[in-house]
Amino acid sequence: MPIIEPKRMLKGLKVREVMRRFAASIPVDSTIEQAIRCMIKNKINAVLATDKQIDPVGVVSKTDLMGAYYTSAPISSPVWHIMSTSVVTCSPDDTLEFALNIMQDKGLHRIYVSDDLRGHSTGVVSYPDIVGLLYRYCHRCERNVRKQLDALDRLRVKEVMTPRVRTLPDRDTILRVLEELGGRRFGALLITSAGGLPAGVISSTDLVLAYRHGVPTSECAAAIMMTPVRSCDQEEDLAKAIRQMVFCDIQRFFVYSGTADNIVGVFSLTDAAQARSGSCRACITSRMDVM
């Protein structure tokens, strides 16, 4: 009996259709502080380190910076002390599915794009880029735009979210937050009050900023957490949640059931991209025209 593989929304799309044609880089002898400044200025999660010939020799990510913060490395240290020497690349003509599979297999949030023999990076593709493409195609879909989708066709946040949330009390130290985020590879932690209620969020960006400003790791989590907790209902239409994330530059929502205090999951740009479809089941059943 033949096996029929459902078509995906990303099927046939090329990396060049979604890549950002700019890959931020710094010289390999730059300091950790310079790497942080570059990331903040460009609103990115990683920066390339290059040699004198402008060839990429490593990548400095926010995870690397968190590790440096954890070990109390001076921000005047050179980035080659903490960078990863593995620069994973793809071609602009590779399929987006191929690039996404590499990102998932290697646990990466981005992949650099190279179209020359020397490996010079001409761009980068990341989960936010893929989610933005998904939203644009879904928004133009005839089935989604011109027809009223019934409840069975609409995807809900609960079908895509990660159904687990790691929390820490606000009295715990930043060092404890670093251990949790670094060891479990979460993008953010939910911080709770003395009564166990959601009080704030600490992300890798918050930790990097704390590192730059010299906040000691012995300080309590409440000192650097962001408030309020950005959340949505688990029954929310996936399309609406994605739209808010794309246009408000939000990386994740904490998902609640019933009331905002009952957090049951996390919905991130990574979850949206890994779904490999738009906001309804139209594209999953091959009814979406992406031409």
The backbone torsions φ and ψ at residue 136, rounded to the nearest 5 degrees and listed phi first, read: -65, -45
| Predicted local distance difference test score (pLDDT) of residue 146 | 46
The HSE-up count of residue 262 (CA atoms within 13 Å, CB side) is: 5
Class of domain 15-126: alpha beta
Render the burial of 183-213: b for 16+ CB within 10 Å, e for the rest. eeebbbbbbbeeeeebbbbbbbbbbbebbbe
3.90.550.10, 3.40.47.40, 3.10.580.10, 1.20.1560.10: CATH of 157-274:
3.10.580.10
3-state secondary structure of 162: strand
15-126 and 157-274 share one fold: yes
CB 181 within 8 Å of CB 207: yes
The pLDDT tens digits along the chain (291 residues) read: 344 344 455 667 889 888 888 889 999 999 999 999 999 999 888 999 999 888 889 999 999 999 999 999 999 999 999 999 888 989 999 998 889 889 888 888 889 998 765 557 788 998 888 877 777 776 666 665 545 555 545 788 998 898 888 899 999 999 999 999 887 667 899 999 998 999 999 999 999 999 999 999 999 999 999 999 999 999 998 888 888 887 888 889 999 999 999 999 999 888 877 665 555 655 543 333 333
∠ at Cα 58 (55, 115), nearest 5°?
A: 45
| Predicted local distance difference test score (pLDDT) of residue 227 | 94
Element (H, E) at 58: strand 56-61
| Sheet strands (E) in 89-226 | 89-90, 110-114, 121-126, 167-169, 188-192, 198-203
Domain boundaries along the sequence of the chain = 15-126, 157-274
The C-alpha torsion from 78 through 204 and 107 to 116, rounded to 10°, is -50
Residue 99 CB neighbour total at 10 angstroms: 27
